[in-house]
Structure 1
Amino acid sequence: MQEGTDAGRAQAGGARRTVRDYMGRGPWFTVGVLTAANSFAFLDRQVLGLLIEPVRADLGLTDTQISILIGFAFAIFYSVFGIPIGRLVDARSRRLIIAVGIAVWSLATAACGLARSFWTLFLGRIGVGAGEATLGPAAMSMISDLFPPERRGTAIAVFITGAAIGSGFATVLAATVFAVLEDFAEIALPVVGTVRPWQVVFFVVGLPGLLVAILALAMREPARGDAVGTAGIPLHEVWAHVREHAVLITCTLIGFSILAIKSYGIAAWVPTFFVRTHGWSVGQAGIYFGLTLAITATIGAILGGRLSDWLAGRGMADAKIQIAILANLLTLIPIVAYPLVANDMAAIVLVAAYYLFAAATTPMGAAIVQEITPPRMRGQIYAVFLFTSTLVGMGFGPLSIALTTDNVFGDPADLRYSLAMVPLVTVSLGLAFLLAARSRYRALPRVY
């Protein structure tokens, strides 16, 4: 791949790279590996959401404690590690950073299967968060150096589908394994000893990720977009860029972070909603929800990415943020309706409709951040984006629904009302910030 300086920030003698420059050296292989890594990341991140009831029963936990394990235990260290890792991403081998991260979170997921108490499971979730902090900044930086802006939305959308595939099939796989083993009170395994069925699920979903870590080493490190060498860009230049676009960056980060509260909250509690409200088994809830999520969210993310590239190619400068606003408006009816309808099949159809629209939003946040950031700052700025969206979304999403159920309604059976109320509020607030960012995003020169 030919390196050149950015046209908008060119130094003397610099030249803007062409589509051919971006599309050489097998970029779709890299996207494929990164998508597989993202699938395993979300598989390991979300699997606890299916196992709420058996973990809650065996460890004697409340809904609030479970939500802390799903959310804050993961999110705090994911967010804290993300920013220094983002700085490494802008200066060191992104391929190696990703491979090490995959190995760490895979082993930490398997370690969750050894948990015997709240605190040992908490420590395992910390390890998952710390390892997964490597993937987002490094992957987005690599994809942005492999694809020009007019093709970037589709490439990012493909990477984002890993979240849908991982979350969906994590639920299906975990549900299938649990359904096979749930009749056994305890299972004796070599080395680890006697474990419960839910603990085996963590081994099954965690350890195969080590194969993806090996595959990540086969990726080629793409040349960076606006500079050569490995020196990190000075922090004062990063801060100067943030101050120059303070309103746009702030509104974008806050808007997508608030929307993440809704996303993580629904993903964490919907399987349990079907168990408590409609009397489904854990296995049935996992299979139906997992397939629904994997199929509809994948379609939604791809359609959102393709549509944004198509509109941008026809001169719609704010296509990505417009799609994010419209898609979230379209989620309002299904997110309020599915918890309240009496029929279980109607509820799962409404969940499918929600994910079809909501998934179109997910690639837009990542793509917008890449467009407003110079190439050698992308790891750091995207790490801040992940810091806010994950800490706020995963930290408060599951927790806000649990606290509402425990303290407002006071009955686990009333989870359905929390699932209707909390997402409605967060979507409304998130949209307000995206609307505030729209005009500034539209006016920003597309030079990255």
Structure 2
Amino acid sequence: MDRPPHPNPLPEGRGGTTVGAYAWYIAVLMALSHLVSFLDRFVMGLAAVPIKTELGLSDTQIGLLAGLGFVILYSVVAVPLGQLADVVNRKRMIAVGIFFWSVATAACAFADSFGSLFLARLSVGLGEASLVPAAMSLIAAYFTRDKLGRAVSLFTMGAGLGKSAAYIAGAAILAWSIPRGGLTVPGLGHFVPWQVLFLAASLPGFVLVVLMLTTVREPVRTRTGKRPGAGPALAYLRANLRVYLTFGIAAISVIMEVQTIAAWAPSFFAREHNMTAAEAGYLVGSAALLASIFGALSGGFLTDWMQSRGLIGAPSITMAVSLVATAVSGLVLYTTPSLAIAVPAYAIVQFMTSAGSPAGLAGIQMMTPPEYRGLISSIFLCGVTLIAVGLGPTFIGVLTDHVFTGPRGLGTALLAANLVFAVIGIVAALSCRRGFQALRVA
């Protein structure tokens, strides 16, 4: 095991009074890794417009590429990788995962059919499954509980920035490559504009691999006296299943809101406000950029502030507030014919969903003993990913192909999903507050 940093990181899941600059460096690097993972994940949202035309795909197939195609292997390996994160060197685990998903993202550029693109997206999901359990375990090891919400919000902020980077940088690449008919790479051949997107998106990951291996020092694991292993972890989860389940439903509802708008926002603005793919990418990425940053940070500060004042179930309250505001702003976004109104409404949706996201991840760390965090976080992540990421975008595609088939069908489908997810999540978040407070271990 690598030599720990000096001063030694605070015991996992324990209190403390100081958090050093190196701990914040770790949080920033984990956030950058999260950013790159979401850039590689959501470049599909922008590429969907030209891919649909050039490969002749249906909305359901686009939804599968954005959702279920990404999560199938992600969900299969998430739990064993989470268990692995409890015992192996976490920085190396993350580095291997980044390298694998970066190669898979580059492979998307060589796809020439739905099948080959679907296979490449499966591989992206397989690589990205390693990140969150290991990264959350590292963050929880370095931070005291009074700063954990902010550290996790920094991590989730990386996701919002990754989406914005995918849209803004992707739009710039499309604007550059479309007039030129794509890009010819010596030794590799010619790539059409949407394939150039995937090539470019794969590059930052290789830089991160080097940083991860050369600058991260694995902290010494501390124990609370609980017996480690899958058996005890699953027994703990079963004993507290009601709290975990209701908290998980609330978190899934927040992420369903995040994933559906992220996967379909460029297509929504392109179709319903008569924009090109590049124009929609610039707009969506720019409007979401600051909203995602300040939303994630605000959610972390709100959770920490409520905890410091002894409010029961602070992460649950944060998620409930986020969902209420998302439902209201989404109602405006999906019904207004005015672009001048739709853009700020979209920014508010991004702000509020970004504010709710850190609470789910932070709450799971607070509920779970350090010995079980990798495995239980991965189970949580598996459920969230399979339902929210896998079914959310695909569900919208099915609705627009078979239910809401009119000229404003995509907006109607997004509106219906927005309201249903919000109601379910609010009820779940409020119902688990006291159970969460009784279970909290960090």
TM-score bracket relative to the smaller structure: over 0.9
- TM-score, normalized by length of structure 1? 0.93
1:80 is aligned, of 58, 70, 76, to 76
- TM-score, normalized by length of structure 2? 0.94
Instruction: Describe how 1:32-111 pairs up with structure 2 within 5 A.
Output: 32-111=28-107
Q: C-alpha separation between the residues in 2 aligned to 1:409 and 1:360? A: 30
Q: Percent of pairs identical after alignment?
A: 34
Could you tell me which runs of 5 or more consecutive residues in structure 1 were left unpaired when the two chains were aligned: 8-15
Deviation at 1:244, TM superposition (A): 1.9
Deviation track 1:368-402 (CA, whole Å, cap 9, x = no partner) reads: 10001000111111101110111101111111111
Deviation at 1:441, TM superposition (A): 1.2
Structure 1 residue aligned with 2:325: 330
Deviation at 1:188, TM superposition (A): 2.5
Helix, strand or coil for the counterpart of 2:334?
Answer: coil
* Amino acid across the alignment from 2:292: A
Kept in 1, the 8 Å contact 2:149–2:362? The answer is yes
Kept in 1, the 8 Å contact 2:269–2:275? The answer is yes
Deviation track 1:213-251 (CA, whole Å, cap 9, x = no partner) reads: 1111111112223269xx992222112211221110111
Deviation at 1:298, TM superposition (A): 1.0
* Amino acid across the alignment from 1:92: V
Deviation at 1:5, TM superposition (A): 7.2
Kept in 2, the 8 Å contact 1:405–1:412? The answer is no
Structure 1 residue aligned with 2:3: none
Structure 1 residue aligned with 2:236: 241
Structure 1 residue aligned with 2:421: 426
Kept in 2, the 8 Å contact 1:263–1:397? The answer is no
Helix, strand or coil for the counterpart of 1:310?
Answer: helix
Asked if 1:114 is matched to 2:104, the reply is: no
2:390 is aligned, of 385, 388, 395, to 395
1:206 is aligned, of 202, 221, 226, to 202
Deviation at 1:55, TM superposition (A): 0.4
Instruction: Describe how 1:304-315 pairs up with structure 2 within 5 A.
Output: 304-315=299-310
Helix, strand or coil for the counterpart of 1:339?
Answer: helix
Helix, strand or coil for the counterpart of 2:432?
Answer: helix
Q: C-alpha separation between the residues in 2 aligned to 1:195 and 1:361? A: 39
Change (3 A) 1:383 1:419: same
Instruction: Describe how 1:140-289 pairs up with structure 2 within 5 A.
Output: 140-217=136-213, 218-226=215-223, 233-289=228-284
Could you tell me which runs of 5 or more consecutive residues in structure 2 were left unpaired when the two chains were aligned: 1-6
Change (3 A) 1:123 1:89: same
* Amino acid across the alignment from 1:166: G
Helix, strand or coil for the counterpart of 1:194?
Answer: strand
* Cα root mean square deviation, aligned: 1.9
Kept in 2, the 8 Å contact 1:254–1:388? The answer is no
Change (3 A) 1:408 1:307: same
Kept in 2, the 8 Å contact 1:114–1:192? The answer is no
Change (3 A) 1:378 1:349: same
Asked if 1:345 is matched to 2:340, the reply is: yes
Structure 2 residue aligned with 1:11: none
Kept in 1, the 8 Å contact 2:10–2:144? The answer is no
* Amino acid across the alignment from 1:226: R
Q: C-alpha separation between the residues in 1 aligned to 2:408 and 2:112? A: 27
